[in-house]
Structure 1
Amino acid sequence: MGEEGGGCSSGPTRDLQKLKQQAMEYYRENDVPRRLEELLNSTFYLQPADVYGHLNVCSVVISTHFEVHENAPPEIAEAEVVERLDAVNTAVQWVNETITKELQGAAPSSQAEVDQVLRTFFENKVQEDKEKKELEKSVEDSTVPTLSSLMPPPPPPPPAKKKGLKQGRKDTLTEKPVRPPEPVEPVLSGSMAIGAVSLAVAKASAMLGNKPLYLRIASLKHQQEPPATLTIPLLMVSLVSCGKSLPGKLNLMKEVICIPHPGLTAKQGVAMVQQIQKHITKTMEMPSPPKAETKKGHNGGKISQQQVTGKMSHLGCLTINYDTIEQPLLLIQGICANLGLEMGTKLHLAINCAAHELMDYSKGKYEVMTGTYKHAAEMVDLYVDLVSKFPSIIALIDPFRKEDSEQWDSIYNALGSRCYIIAGTASRSISKLLEDGNISTPRSSGLIIKHTNQTTISDLVEITDLIDSNKHMAVFGSTEGESSDDSLVDLAVGLGVQFIKLGGLSRGEHVTKYNRLFTVEEELIQSGTLGTCCLLLLLPLSHE
């Protein structure tokens, strides 16, 4: 398995130039306002995979783990570009120098064996990195004593002054401090090579066996027994975004997500969401009503008249300026009523709260709207009230940080029977979940899983088995820095997850995946192997 594509006569340099040209043409044709440099910096491209002798079989593009930050300062953006480039270059080096040799002659059908080789290789790299950092630290520490010994010890802190009632009043107002954020799980630079090679092997095996990738994944999931039927996961389609990093006072809703009824096909569901999206744009483009005279620079009203920014989020959905939590939901509800779409029947909603982006650690509270702060306990009441007002909301994604375990318990007890509580960013990485064998922290109804970094196909099978055995729900999601590779649709179908979250209906990297989903659905219909999605999925049950 090598980057040079098994002895192509044109050479790697010419192949790379051809790849860049194809990428530019693709993004130009799909009207995606994204620079080629950003694409190459955020994804890892594994050129035609030499997985069986010298036969070039397939190629893979895998996204990096890096989050996309809207309106990030230039210095942060530049630092991330450097880090992404290092990750991609390291991944290419791993594939060319070691992984190719270790997998030479391996049969693509031996997915478990290949993934075990990849795991062992990665564990060795982790150990090498650990030893390197320990050596650097020991060298650094050896120079510190000579400097610190010259420094006098710091003076003891002055005793606290007691000021009677004033001191007591301060103590009374002091709130219980919030738990600091847990350390970010380290990601070893180059780790995406593991996930990319594992996927390349699965794709090669499928192509050599003359069958689609989703059937190959399903056979791995069911231990070589081909399933009689496969189902299309329920869609989670991002409709609008009004989160922390976007204009407007509302921070809470990073994504308002539409979930079409399971009785609809994927194509029908997307068409319905497209209709709603068009009406949102049309509604917001209507001329504003006359306004009373106001001072320059003020709009004189409680609600901003210009609510759509005209900007498409990297999530593939419209960004909207709103000031209250209810406004975007009332907008969608009104449009659906005009279109004759009954909320809670034809269409359900999910909210990606992205609570980890809302915490103001200086205040120890969540900033749900600009200048409006809520304690973690108050957030439970906010969510209960929101779901009571809008019963079509059947899922909340990341309603709290992972550190607020008590509130995860509270909201699950309060809403778990009528609303899915889903851990996305609040969940740990797949490798950590498999290592611990525990998916119950934080307490939730389901998890969002993604294929990135060192996650192998065998890991995906194992984690979905663990989720199924715990009667949880699996959502297969795309990463934020997404690529145009549509393999994750096949992974979701083959693994039998309940939901698939592909982002919005704009930008080529999202549209490609929706088109692949339509193709898979049509193939299953024609072969008579399309199973019926359980309607009870929209009626959350107890997961005790």
Structure 2
Amino acid sequence: MEPGGEGGRRQQRCLPDLRHQAAEYYRSNEVPQRLEEALNATFYLRPADLYGHLVLTEGEANYFSKFSKPPVICKLIGRKVFDGAGRPTLEVEIFCTVKNHEKSICSIMVSSHSEILENASPEAIDADEKEINDSINRALEWVNGSLNEMLRDLKPTDQCKVDELLGEYFAKKVEEEKERMEIEREEQKEAISALPCVPAVSTVTPTGKKKGPKLGKKTSVAEKPIPPAEPIEPVLCGSIAIGGLSLAVAKTGASINKTPLYLHLALMKHQDLPKKFIVPLPMVTLLSCGKSSSGKLNLMKEVMLIPPTELTVKQGIERLLDIQKQMVRLLDPVGKGSSPQLIDNKKGSARSAVKKTPPPALKRISHLGCLITGCDSLEQPLILMQTACKNLGLELGIDVHLAINCAAHELMDYDGQQWSSMCDTLGSKCYLIAEDASKNISKLLEDQNINIPKCSGLIIKYTNQTKISDLTELTRLLDGQRHIAILGTSAGESSDDSLVDLAVGLGARFIKLGGLSRGERVTKYNRLLAIEEELAKNGILCSGENHEFVDFAEEAQTVEELFNAFPPIEQGPWPSQHSQSVLAQDQHSVSSHSSAPHLNEASKMDP
């Protein structure tokens, strides 16, 4: 039969009837087992008098798609890629079976936990590079091997189930590592015991010659010993695979549901979509001077600016870019006849930088995406920032806010009492934020009444074995304890912008992405702008709120007075043991110095 003949015209006239008959056929209860075989866009019908295929309408296709199996994970692929600092990191790609077809859904890149070493010895740098490579290679073995088998056929929308399995897998690997290290220690003990004993050489003072203090030499007074630094938290080799897979599954679930990642995460945290969203304020690093300065001056690690809440994120970033341009001109005034004018805070007037030692010339852009320069005094970076603002008619504390990474752990000699005193003194005037006190999120979540360090908030980094469900639970608990949740990036950051969706979806108050240079940093700022624009377009963007400071000293006094007001236990059954335990936990969380942050990590102040 020729396609253009009478048979072809008769076929065209029969198509509507055939569509209707086919729909009724599959809609009936006679063949329910055939419904799973229906495809989304096309199925083939071969009656005796018709040769060809029958294309369904959109409505019929959507009807049949409801009977197809939900997408499930079918394959994981792990790859070694490179971050913004040229160091190896992990990429995870997830494939799902969607309507009987294998399809790549998404891929993510995660950052290494290791900080970038500056001014370190070549041996230390080589050891750090070896550790990173070993960790990535082990993670690739897990992702492409046992984890690939474990997550197969799981729904990517079932984040809790996936994270539960990942947690069990990680716990098993930790136990295996402990057993391996225990065997190594036993072998070392046996090797040492097998060595021949060598008699110790005794140093005996000759008879009649007693050693005493030399004349004219002052005896030194014994100094108070400095508490040793807290041991570095061990990181299981390959643990980056756990965090990478959890984030990849979350992004896959969002893609399957055809929703942005931040909405997917907000639904996970609140069980219902919030009516309004607040975009976190960016903490933008504009200057890094600590590593380029000598002595105690290296405590001024980062100088950051935060835009005011009345501005949109776009307006705030544009303002900070203008300040950065002014700082470049002040640091490196090429081709100008006169030196830049720096403000004298004490006299309130401008005087020539020749009379006061200017900051050293601009060197380069840091891996954090900010300017790098040294300083001869702690005031210089602040004067530089204030001068740049004044040149634009801006005032610090009103038009823009200041934040400083001051390396508090080096200031306080690992003494938690000093941190507690500083919180009591400055907590009502500024934020005191511990950067890496929440480095091991799983430890903070071992008990629901988590021991949050005494601080205004925590900077949380998504690294290692951190899972999406852990991050969701931690931010929920921080919200309940009036702490500020701040999502931050690692030193060696990748170009993946999922961290911004995490910050928006989980309701972080701030986000710390580094400077306004380098592609891996700017990509995230652009994602933040895109989310803000999308929220505003949909009418669910809420303007920022004023941030209140916490008076730790007042809170500690109030809780102590309340706790002392209760009658002794022997006077009666009230208060109950449950009430006493809750009050003790509250008092401990606001006043006990034992809950101070890990002082071997950097902390932040916002003066």
Structure 2 length normalisation: TM-score? 0.71
Residue 311, structure 1, aligned to residue 364, structure 2: yes
1:500 corresponds to = 511
Counterpart residue type for residue 490 of structure 1: D
Larger radius of gyration, structure 1 or 2? 2
Residue 484, structure 1, aligned to residue 495, structure 2: yes
1:395 corresponds to = none
Give the distance between the partners of 1:130 and 1:117, measured in 2 at CA: 20
Residue 135, structure 1, aligned to residue 183, structure 2: yes
Residue 509, structure 1, aligned to residue 509, structure 2: no
Q: CA deviation at 1:112?
A: 0.7
1:334 corresponds to = 387
2:108 corresponds to = 60
Give the distance between the partners of 2:366 and 2:408, measured in 1 at CA: 19
Residue 285, structure 1, aligned to residue 308, structure 2: no
Q: CA deviation at 1:73?
A: 2.8
- Kept in 2: contact 1:308–1:319 (CA 8 A): no
1:120 corresponds to = 168
Give the distance between the partners of 1:82 and 1:161, measured in 2 at CA: 50
CA shift digits 1:481-540 (9 cap, x unpaired): 1111000000000110111100000111100000000000001000111122221x1544
Counterpart residue type for residue 304 of structure 2: I
- Kept in 2: contact 1:199–1:456 (CA 8 A): yes
Counterpart residue type for residue 232 of structure 1: V
Give the distance between the partners of 2:417 and 2:215, measured in 1 at CA: 33
Give the distance between the partners of 1:226 and 1:278, measured in 2 at CA: 40
Counterpart residue type for residue 395 of structure 2: E
Select the residue among 300, 304, 309 that pairs with 1:253: 300
- Kept in 2: contact 1:6–1:49 (CA 8 A): yes
Aligned identity (percent) is: 45
**Aligned CA distance change for structure 1 residues 111 and 427 (closer, same or farther; 3 Å):** closer
2:373 corresponds to = 320
CA shift digits 1:379-401 (9 cap, x unpaired): xxxxxxxxxxxxxxxxxxxxxx6
Residue 353, structure 1, aligned to residue 399, structure 2: no
1:363 corresponds to = none
**Aligned CA distance change for structure 1 residues 263 and 412 (closer, same or farther; 3 Å):** same
Select the residue among 267, 278, 293 that pairs with 1:219: 267
**Aligned CA distance change for structure 1 residues 108 and 324 (closer, same or farther; 3 Å):** same
Residue 170, structure 1, aligned to residue 217, structure 2: no
Ranges in structure 2 where 5+ consecutive residues have no aligned partner: 1-72, 340-352, 556-589, 591-607
Give the distance between the partners of 2:210 and 2:399, measured in 1 at CA: 63
**Aligned CA distance change for structure 1 residues 109 and 246 (closer, same or farther; 3 Å):** same
Q: CA deviation at 1:151?
A: 2.4
1:202 corresponds to = 250
Select the residue among 147, 169, 173 that pairs with 1:99: 147
- Kept in 2: contact 1:48–1:57 (CA 8 A): yes
- Kept in 1: contact 2:301–2:405 (CA 8 A): yes
Select the residue among 33, 46, 49 that pairs with 2:92: 46
Residue 467, structure 1, aligned to residue 515, structure 2: no
- Kept in 2: contact 1:237–1:505 (CA 8 A): yes
SS of corresponding position for 1:170: coil
- Kept in 1: contact 2:330–2:384 (CA 8 A): no
Select the residue among 427, 433, 452 that pairs with 1:422: 433
SS of corresponding position for 1:47: strand
CA shift digits 1:55-109 (9 cap, x unpaired): 2100010001010112333332222222111111111110111111111111111
Q: CA deviation at 1:161?
A: 6.5
Give the distance between the partners of 2:211 and 2:438, measured in 1 at CA: 44
CA shift digits 1:267-298 (9 cap, x unpaired): 1111111000000101222258899xxxxxxx
Q: CA deviation at 1:259?
A: 0.7
Give the distance between the partners of 2:299 and 2:315, measured in 1 at CA: 29
Query: Once superposed, what is the RMSD of the aligned Cα atoms?
Result: 3.0
- Kept in 2: contact 1:240–1:257 (CA 8 A): yes
Counterpart residue type for residue 329 of structure 1: L
Q: CA deviation at 1:301?
A: 7.5
CA shift digits 1:237-286 (9 cap, x unpaired): 0010111x224662121110101101111111111110000001012222
Select the residue among 230, 235, 239 that pairs with 2:286: 239
- Kept in 1: contact 2:439–2:460 (CA 8 A): no
1:193 corresponds to = 241
Give the distance between the partners of 1:528 and 1:99, measured in 2 at CA: 41
1:527 corresponds to = 538
CA shift digits 1:323-353 (9 cap, x unpaired): 1111111111122122111211111111111
